[in-house]
Amino acid sequence: MGVDLRQVLAGILTLTMFLMLGHMIKRDHFDSVQEKFPGPTKEVTKVTTIRSLHKKGDAAWKNDVQELKQCWSKPEFDEGQQSKGYVTFSLTDGPEYHVSQIADAVVVARYLGATLVVPDIRGKKLGDKWNFGDIYDVEKFIGSLDGVVKVVKELPSEISPRKISAVKVPNRVSENYISEHVEKIYKKSGSIRLATFFPSVNMKKSTTSSNGDSVPCLAMFGTLKLQPEISEVIESMIERLKTLSRKSNGQFIAVDLRIEMLGENGCQEASGSKGCYTAQDIALFLRKIGFDKDATIYLTQPRWDNSLEDLKDLFPKTYTKESIMPADKKAKFLNAESSEYEKVIDFYVCSQSDIFVPAISGLFYSNVAGKRIALGKNQILVPATIQESTAPATKFISPYIKKKNHLAYSCFC
């Protein structure tokens, strides 16, 4: 029986194909990973091996700092110092400002012996107004200040808001400033409406401590609790992010990156250094310090924007609120009139994430850092342009953490 040369040739070709396929599979599993990095040329760049990338990524997630404890005592109030006047104020510009505005109002009211009126909440647009209870727990706020300063829910009807003198004070107002610039106006008017201005967004602790430290510590870290519905939405979003992060042990990264902020003057700091980072910058930064494509990322950007695609190319599990918020909550918390809700959600998700990356410098970063220090979550990585192909994540830990110079370290020890 003769041998059919065509069958022999077909067999050889089939065997060759199987050998080639096996070699390709082996390379996919053990050889180097190649990714498309964002950039003008979109060139393919060799990064590192899968095995070493996972080791680096694991190290980047670590948070070895021990959780701190509250080190202030609740200050007592001398009832004999209670005056008849009131201090009113509004919370403005988002939760990163709220904590500071609360602290200043409490410090002023306590110094003057005045009664503090629960504030309302106002947005940037004219007419954007919410009750304190729409976002925060009113009873928790009043109860937390019991014995520190007297608090009422509303200004008495016999006092006209129009006759109350307006007073501006700098953030982290001192007793000396109150004595020199506020007390005379208060005594003359009987009541004042307070507004805080921010000469700086720096939240470094003071080099000299004062006897009043316990009051701002309590006001900043012990008075604000979210109302239940918002807390439930945030908790459900965090659980969703943890579920999406199964390959990274349920850990996720929160990045404060808002497109509308990138073109503003605040992006260029006084020192001339870069104060804002684009989606492309963040993608490269995270990749070079060891995070792989399985890392889950939450962005504070309100809605998806095409400019975020560079980040999603390297990290496919990149999400905004609209993709992870419960469907039945979107109508209330994701419409054009609910920007204040969105800011609050971002602030608390960033505060509770496993890692926080501030792509934008400013008060949001500073006060999220304070909240995280209070919660014992010290993994705050400040972006930088990395020229090398790789760099350790520990090199980019926030100076607030490395130097322990954040105001929160005056309150937690």
pLDDT < 70: residue spans in the chain: 1-60, 63-66, 79-80, 207-212, 263-273, 336-338
Closest CA to 100 of 408, 413, 412: 408
Q: How far is CA 218 from CA 131, 253, 377, in A?
A: 22, 29, 19
Count H helices, E strands: the chain? 15, 13
Q: What are the tokens at 125?
A: 């647009």
For the chain, the helix, strand and coil percentages under 3-state DSSP, each to the nearest 5: 45, 15, 40
**Predicted pLDDT of residue 339:** 82
Fold of 56-67+227-410: Rossmann fold (3.40.50)
The structural domains of the chain, with segments of one domain joined by +, span 56-67+227-410, 79-221
- Of 286, 290, 225, nearest in space to 257 by CA: 286
- Strand, coil or helix: what is 402? helix
Dihedral of the alpha carbons of 288, 313, 33, 389, in degrees to the nearest 10: -20
Q: Specify the pLDDT at position 43.
A: 33
- Give the SS3 label for residue 126: coil
Q: If we measure between CA atoms, which residue out of 196, 194, 192 comes closest to residue 164?
A: 192
From the list 343, 361, 345, 342, the residue with the least C-alpha distance to 353 is 345
CA distances from 256 to 10, 77, 147, 293 (A): 59, 39, 37, 19
Q: Where are the alpha helices (DSSP H) in 222-362?
A: 228-244, 279-288, 309-314, 321-324, 330-333, 339-352
Q: What is the pLDDT of residue 11?
A: 56
- How many CB atoms sit inside 10 A of residue 177's CB? 16
CB atoms within 10 A of CB 393: 21
Interhelix angle for 214-221 vs 363-375, to 10°? 90
Nearest to 282 by CA among 60, 36, 38, 45: 38
**Nearest CA among 140, 72, 129, 61 for reference residue 102:** 140
Q: For position 25, what pLDDT does the model report?
A: 37
Within 245-335, residue ranges assigned H as helices are 279-288, 309-314, 321-324, 330-333
